[in-house]
Amino acid sequence: MERGRPDLRGPGETFYDTDDAGSIGDSRWRAAGRRGRLAGRLLRSAAMLGFEVLKTDPTSRARRGRLTTPHGEIETPVFMPVGTRAAVKGITPDQVVATGTRIILGNTYHLQLRPGAELIEELGGLHRFMGWSGPMLTDSGGYQVFSLSELVEIDDDGVSFRSPVDGARMRLTPESATAIQNRLGADIIMCFDQCPPHPCEREAIEVAVDRSVRWAWRCKEAHGRPEEQWLFGINQGGVHADLRRMCAERLAEVDLPGCAIGGLSVGESHEEMMEVVEDLCPRLPADRPRYLMGVGMPRDIVAAVLRGVDMFDCVLPTRNGRNAYAFTATGPVRLRNHQYLRDEAPLEAGCDCMTCVGHSRAYLRHLFMTGEMLGPILVSIHNLRFYQRLTARLRDLIEAGCAARIMDEFPVAAAREDTDEESHS
């Protein structure tokens, strides 16, 4: 183990040392051979971070933008598939790329549990470890930690909890969460924040807002690679407009390059979520990307884009895909239903994904009814392609100045859809 960098896990309660965070991985990245060449490319592109709004829609607040990272450009609005543990479940990186995906998300909490950020750094960073050459974002792990509820002890310095893997005592602080993300090497990293549950007493939400802002300052101070990784702040405040506004004002003072909206898609209604987004987006810096975390259903994404959001992530395309639930422009197809027993049509007419080009609904139903693993894979691929087609069409319509037409082309975005699946990973 590298001197000065104790692992987050261990007997008792071990803290993660971040004193030399600025030099994370330098020696390893300059290794000979392919790893050395990779390091050179990364270092030369260190200044390649930026965001520009290319067009705004005259009929809404929708924005067409471009986010530049060391691993490539991202056209916005964008949907980011979730690769929580360095994998988009059941899908190879090449298959993910084939869906039109350009950026994926990983999770600090899960990757630190297994295999550990130190090992991933030793093996060349998260991009190389999982074979993904495009841009990547890592969540700080705050949502996952706080969802452990009874296993968590929270104080103003950080969070202590028991590992769900082996019961080891662990602790995350703004400094350690940032250092772990520095080691992982994603292009965009997130501040460690406190995500209150829904419903929740207002007083508890006020505490979470205050902590999240103070922790954002500490994350910024601890950030060891600001020229290579953008650090986004996270707005909290539940469904309380005044708390959201206060959080936005205080985070603006931290002056981070991106603005995330957290603490939604945790049980509130679509209407409550959109009330928050509607009120908050105009109060966020216009020159920074806006990221609605953990969202969501097509209806949620379209409504948020029309209110000014640029970035989204959600596990629904793959989680629902593994459960025989396919997204289409006109509504869901639940493949276990008997009506598809002899249906020779593709999942969605006009879809260009490998699933729709090569397979019928009847065949896909057969795969699920017989427990074949190919079924979840093929429907997950289709669902990812659906989300990419949806956001690509939004980009086209914003450029054309008629974003609201998305409702005509994707009626599912205007209809209420119920699903048994949760949005967060």
Q: Which domains are delineated in the chain?
A: 52-321+381-413 (3.20.20.105)
Nearest to 114 by CA among 223, 3, 4, 8: 8
Contact indicator for 379, 387 with CB cutoff of 8 Å? no
Per-residue pLDDT of the chain (425 residues; tens, 9 = 90+): 333 332 333 323 322 233 332 222 333 222 323 333 333 333 333 448 999 999 999 999 999 999 999 999 999 999 999 999 999 999 999 999 999 999 999 999 999 999 999 999 999 999 999 999 999 999 998 877 777 766 688 899 999 988 888 888 999 999 999 999 999 999 999 999 999 888 999 999 999 999 999 999 999 999 999 999 999 999 999 999 999 999 999 999 999 999 999 999 999 999 999 999 999 999 999 999 999 999 999 999 999 999 999 999 999 999 999 999 999 999 999 999 999 999 999 999 999 999 999 999 999 999 999 999 999 999 999 999 999 999 999 999 999 999 999 999 999 999 875 444 434 43
pLDDT of residue 424: 41
pLDDT of residue 2: 35
Out of 57, 187, 193, 313, pick the active-site residue.
313
pLDDT of residue 150: 65
Q: Which residues contact 101 (CB under 8 A, 6 or more apart)?
A: 79, 80, 81, 134, 384, 388
Distance between CA 405 and CA 280 in Å, rounded?
24
The strand pair at 311-314 and 258-261 is best described as unpaired
Structure tokens, 101: 């995906």
Q: Is the dihedral of CA 309, 311, 317, 320 positive or negative?
A: negative
Contact indicator for 320, 290 with CB cutoff of 8 Å? no
pLDDT of residue 149: 65
Q: Please identify which residue in the block is written with the tokens 């008792």.
A: 12
Contact indicator for 104, 72 with CB cutoff of 8 Å? no
Out of 17, 94, 139, 352, pick the active-site residue.
139
| pTM, full prediction | 0.88
Tell me if residue 418 is catalytic. no
Write out the E strands in 256-388: 258-261, 290-292, 311-314, 325-326, 333-334
Write out the E strands in 285-373: 290-292, 311-314, 325-326, 333-334
DSSP 6-58: --S-SSS------TTGGGTTHHHHT-STHHHHHHHHHHHTTT--EEEEEEE-T
Structure tokens, 251: 């985070």
Structure tokens, 11: 């007997």
Tell me if residue 139 is catalytic. yes
pLDDT of residue 417: 55
pLDDT of residue 143: 79
